[in-house]
Amino acid sequence: MALIIFRDATLIDGKGGDPLSPATIVVEDGVIREITVGKFKMAIPADAMTVNCYGKTLLPGLIDAHIHVGLFDGDENEQPRQNHPSMLIIKALKVMEDTLYQGFTTCRDAGGVDAGFREAQKLGLIKGPQLKVSGRPLSMTGGHGDCRLSTDRRNPYDEILGCSVICDGVSEVRKAAREELRRGADHIKIMAGGGCSSPTDEPDACQYSLEELEAIAYEANSAGKYALAHCYSNRSIQNCVKAGIKSIEHGNFMDRETAKLLHDADCWYVPTLTTYEVMTRKGEEFGIPDYFLRKMKMVYETAIEAVTNAYHEGVVIGSGSDVIGPAQPYKAMELELKARVLGPMGAIVSATRVNSAILCMDDKVGTIEPGKLADLIVVDGDPLNEISLLQDRSRICVIMQGGTFIKNTIN
């Protein structure tokens, strides 16, 4: 395949150093071959394609470490009842495609879709970010993944896209974890505390016993994978760390002491600010249930403080948006919100290099370096001065995934 040469770019390579300019990035056969800063000396072959990036910034394709491709309707608890099974898949595919056009070339689905989505993307059957999937999250009865109302006497759904598997007790949770691993999950998602969308619990509730969490983490770790846990309260987070869970999601109530535990245990922290920001602003317009909106507002109050606590304790902070329903198009807002604590460069590194490690893909994506996959975006302007420009699709001029142009408005 002919060379593709990005010329005269300002390069933010994802490693956190100062931007490099003018930079030339050479892509061949889907891979970044060479990076030159300053005068470009190589003879350009006649059949090479040159992309003039003057005034523009080239950075790694963005990574979102907490998405839900399978949650697209305003009321996620009604979603399984209101869609034909085929419609669930079709809507999820639309979310995947749109996520790629937001500049996200790789994502971790934090619960809901199975390995088929990952494989179909890999085979080029569907457009979307490269995926790591959780399969069905594990939730206890009445836990965050149990979407039944307290008046509901039905059995929980567990084989429908977007739903959790409800399991209780060490032997049931162990079996459920093994089953998700058998079905090809890249990691095991656990609902280890109350949540906002769940109708019958409160966010500060602690869910699952230490023994149950240990059994799940043991199975995930034994398979050479890891567990990630949805939780808010300090007690839930502490249980998860003790149980050997590697990735803590949301964590909105985290204090300094708990943050230190995360740091000492080498856990990752993936705060998800966007979902709270968008829902508190637009939840009423979106028509989400009252209990959901009330809890979203409540947990958002301490969200930035939790990220600040983690930052001061030196915790590795990943980037996730957790957007669902009509908030799906807002994934890149996470960088603007994270920048309030980490600064714009820190927010970019979190959504690129750090996230690539959290997805266990740092040998392939996450930075612009020779040998890495050519997953990159070119944006009009300087995201270090204006991080919000990443949310403006008209200013994302190039999206390249594995050397293929998904979008190119430059030439």
Binding site for Zn ion (CB under 5 A): 110, 322
State the alpha helices, DSSP H only, in 102-169: 115-122
Q: How far is the CB of 270 from Zn ion (least distance, A)?
A: 9
Closest approach of Zn ion to the CB of residue 35, in Å: 35
- Tell me the closest approach of the beta carbon of residue 322 to Zn ion, in angstroms: 4
Token look-up 């245990």 returns 265
Identity of the amino acid at 388: S
**Closest residue (Cβ) to Zn ion?**
322
Rounded to the nearest angstrom, the gap between the alpha carbon of residue 281 and the centroid of all alpha carbons in its chain is: 21
Distance (Å, whole) CA 328 – CA 12: 26
- In the complex, what is the shortest distance from the CB of residue 66 to Zn ion, in angstroms, rounded to a whole number? 6
93 or 190: CB nearest Zn ion: 190
**Smallest separation, CB 370 to Zn ion (Å):** 35
Residue 353 is given by DSSP the state: I
Give min distance, CB of 76 to Zn ion, in A. Answer: 10
Counting DSSP H helices and E strands in the chain, the numbers are 12, 18
Closest Cα to residue 348, out of 111, 66, 8, 16?
16
Q: Which one, 53 or 110, has the nearer CB to Zn ion? A: 110
- Least Cα distance to 187 among 361, 25, 352 occurs for 361
SS3 content of the chain, % helix, strand, coil (to 5): 35, 20, 40
Q: Which is nearer to Zn ion, 58 or 190 (CB)?
A: 190
| CB nearer to Zn ion: pick between 34 and 75 | 75
Give CA separation, 380 vs 76, 102, 303, in Å.
Answer: 36, 14, 31
Q: Please, which residue, 321 or 391, has the CB nearer to Zn ion?
A: 321
Q: Which is nearer to Zn ion, 230 or 372 (CB)?
A: 230
